[in-house]
A and B are shown apart, each in its own frame.
Chain A
Amino acid sequence: MTDLLLEMHDVQIEGRSDETWMPIIKGVDLILKKGEVLGLIGESGAGKSTLGLAAMGFTRDGVRISGGTVTFDGIDLRTASAETKRQLLGKRIAYVAQSAAASFNPAHKLIDQHTEAPVQHGTASKAESMADGIELYRRLRLPDPDEIGFRYPHQVSGGQLQRAMTAMAMATRPDLIIFDEPTTALDVTTQIEVLAAIRDIVEQFGTAAIYITHDLAVVAQMADRIKVLLKGEEVEEAETREMLSAPKEDYTKSLWAVRAFQRPAKPAPATDAIPVVSVQTVTAAYGKIPVLHDVSFDIHAGRTVAVVGESGSGKSTTARVITGLLPQSAGVVELDGEPLPADYRKRSKDQLRQIQMIYQMADTALNPRQTIAEIVGRPVEFYTGLKGHAKRNRVAELMEQIELPASEYADRLPSELSGGQKQRIGIARALAAEPKFIICDEVTSALDQLVAEGILRLLARLQDDLNLSYMFITHDLATVRSIADEVVVMKDGRVVEQGRKAEMFRPPHHPYTDLLLSSVPEMDPDWLTNLLAERGVHNIGDAAAASIK
């Protein structure tokens, strides 16, 4: 077989935790032919990135390949010297990282980082590589390709950086590129541009690729074959179409089914009902920079309002105004028909109690030095004044509600919990205040799909039990579909459209809503191709811009 590029056989990888080596990858085989794209999917912790890096013969600190073989084009990467590997990396094998913003060196211009690998490996002169870089920027549809390379990373947007990084990986025309979640950090509308750009350029140069992601719909667009990983082991592997239409293993089927969770929308509230929270013509600014313009919407008892939009659209700022962290410059926020003081310091304890928040990063929102009982107990004591035995009982009751029994979890530290469990603690802490209204700020976007679904189901059940109202900030329309009663679409600090969920997902839409909706990848391998054809343009960036204006 002459077209075999990469062969990994029975690869075992271990990571050091304290003094012992724990297995991360437990004997995985992987074969990649020249010009082929393999999708690698699984939840976080499945070992996707570790395996992807191992395909380059590379391990992070504290990780080692303990068994099996990794052969790239006849070279055994496990026994090859550091120097031999260094000659391959960046020349014949390249890497595109998840966060381009963090993976570009902040101290150097993009083009200088682009030309580094070709110049260092001697495949091109600086001038040749620069000219080629500009050409690649053009092909990847970066705006202003002649100039953009001469900017520093912080002067370029996330989606553009991700494309510049793909261009950088292409600089030496490698045989293999590892894409490690290259679109995970991007908004849906930006994601499309990057996906299309990556797919085009991989096809044009016949580059083989391993495409790592946790998003099935994305991998469906990109890969010829898909391999599913679970806890360091292969679940199954098949051609993309076959995998999508007929997954064999239960685990794969469960992944496919996650997107099916959908609760029916509740009936519209009575027209004369007083909303729990009412945001009325709110305008707000950070210093002199205006961020919100005339934002109005209501949230009724027992209902969920999803606020959607791209990053920078003003979703989280709206939450900051409602909580009083950022006093508005005009407009009013009402709680049960009573206007709230703009500044949280002027609100009564009861008003503060009624509005609680759950955060995106449970990791950073929980004090790592406090036990779960302390974290949940603090708001119980602060808001309800319970102490001693009564407080302990209340904490146990709250832990029961989030399905983490106090007997087992109360004395643990946050670091001893999984991501989903930490998020549940965040929910319990919010519930401890016995609020009417909870703001959920991207609470599931850092979680795997199965875990996220568990959180959504829990929130739905709590809403039914306690008649809670939610404001659900998210950029993920699948989440909106599954949990929202009403939807508010925001862009550039304004509400562009709002209404009942059913209406929002049925045309006709506001053009921006349409763009958002149509940009969500679907589990159809032809979706991206069809969408691009439908939008009928080669330059997607322009199209997006045009359709918004």
Chain B
Amino acid sequence: MHPVLKIILQRLALGLLTLFIVSIVIFTAVNMLPGDFAQAILGQSATPEAVAAIRRDLGLDQPYVVRYFGWLTDMLQGNLGISYAQLNFQSNMGGQNLKTVADQIAPRFANTMFLAGVAAVIAVPFAVTLGVLAALYRNSAFDKAVNVGTLTSISSPEFFLAYILVLFLAVLNPLLPSIANIYQGISLADRLTATLLPALTLTLVVTAHMMRMTRAAIINLLASPYIEMARLKGVSPFRIIVKHALPNAWAPIINVIALNLAYLITGVVVVEVVFNYPGIGQLFVDAVKNRDIPVVQACCLIFAAAYILLNLAADILSMLANPRLRHPK
């Protein structure tokens, strides 16, 4: 078997193991949240009998281990369960149109992935190009300006960046909508227009990290003998950076890109709230507020899987970027 394939399979197995451990952590942590759905929904004046009844209905009176394995078995069968809030709704309204957690999460998750995708398509090439240019013109005014600019944007709160962009791109120059109005059956063009402002905000948030790693990884290599060799061959400075340094600098850059992409999926709550973007982040926060445990757990698991998958992808890509692994002796 090709060594790279072997390592990929190993990492994949490790990823699954990590996901399993994370599932235990999620389940335990969610169960340790103070209060439960029964108390949250019935309020302070609830009678102990009513609370107990709801708990019995939802299976909350079962022992922890039994509930965990019940949940895990459902998950493995692709059954994310039914939202408690929906159950409550059903008992009031007579059991019409019962939506599963999967039905609830799917459109939100698709929206989040779309936003993350648009942001990544803008942010990654932008950050890497800036990093390459900053390395090429290192210690120049351009380099310093780029560093100051990206550091400022990463240091500012996200809502602040969002409002600044709204001010300039929606209020003063009404180019883009300030509210991301996404509805069913929206056309791709409208969807892109609606997503652009949140995506630009996220770009500002994640660029600094990726750009600075690109710059540092390249500059770190400039003292290597093979870079000196390239200079002594009369290769132009731009070509030295792009052709000789960058191909050897990918591993750390890819890892930082993966971390930032994961952030785009899991850390966008604030931006969603500001633009009223119907993503998974808002759903998640609402579910925590309501102690809607099946939704919280499913969201956590999706976030964890996103992190694990992206890191796995980063590992694999860094390996493929290494000729020693790609072309064994």
Contact = CB atoms under 8 A, between A and B. Distances in A.
A97 B323 contact: no
Contacts of B223: 61
Given A88-B234, A105-B244, A107-B248, A95 B229 contact: yes
Contact of A120 (B224, B232, B236): B236
B235 interface: yes
B207 to A, nearest CB: 26
Task: Give the most central of B224, B231, B236: most A CB within 10 Å.
Answer: B231
Interface in A50-66: 53, 56, 58, 60-61
B239 interface: yes
B225 A102 contact: yes
Interface residues of B, number: 22
Nearest to B329: A155
A166 B230 CA distance: 14
A160 to B, nearest CB: 13
B234 A120 contact: yes
B239 A120 contact: yes
Task: Give the most central of B224, B226, B234: most A CB within 10 Å.
Answer: B234
A97 B244 CA distance: 17
A106 B324 contact: yes
A144 B309 CA distance: 43
A115 to B, nearest CB: 11
Contacts of A279: none
Interface residues of A, number: 31
Contacts of B231: 58, 89
A103 B234 contact: no
Contact of A106 (B226, B230, B232, B233): B226
A120 B226 contact: no
A512 interface: no
A172 to B, nearest CB: 9
A179 to B, nearest CB: 13
Contact of B224 (A88, A102, A116): A102
A56 B233 CA distance: 11
A103 B228 contact: yes
A467 to B, nearest CB: 45
B63 to A, nearest CB: 46
Interface in A146-179: 151-152, 154-155
B229 A97 contact: yes
Nearest to B221: A105
A20 to B, nearest CB: 21
A105 B226 contact: yes
A102 B236 contact: no
Contacts of B230: 105, 116
Given A154-B324, A155-B327, A103 B235 contact: no
Given A61-B223, A86-B234, A108 B247 contact: yes
Nearest to A151: B327
Contact of B234 (A61, A89, A104): A89
A106 B248 contact: yes
16 contacts: A53-B232, A56-B232, A60-B228, A89-B233, A90-B232, A99-B225, A104-B226, A104-B229, A105-B248, A108-B243, A108-B247, A120-B234, A120-B236, A152-B323, A154-B324, A155-B329
Given A106-B323, A116-B230, A155-B327, 14 more contacts: A56-B232, A86-B236, A90-B232, A90-B233, A94-B233, A102-B226, A104-B229, A105-B248, A106-B226, A107-B247, A116-B233, A120-B233, A121-B234, A155-B329
Interface of A: 53, 56, 58, 60-61, 85-91, 94-95, 97, 99, 102-108, 116-117, 120-121, 151-152, 154-155
Nearest 4 CB-CB pairings of A with B? A90-B233, A90-B234, A89-B234, A107-B247
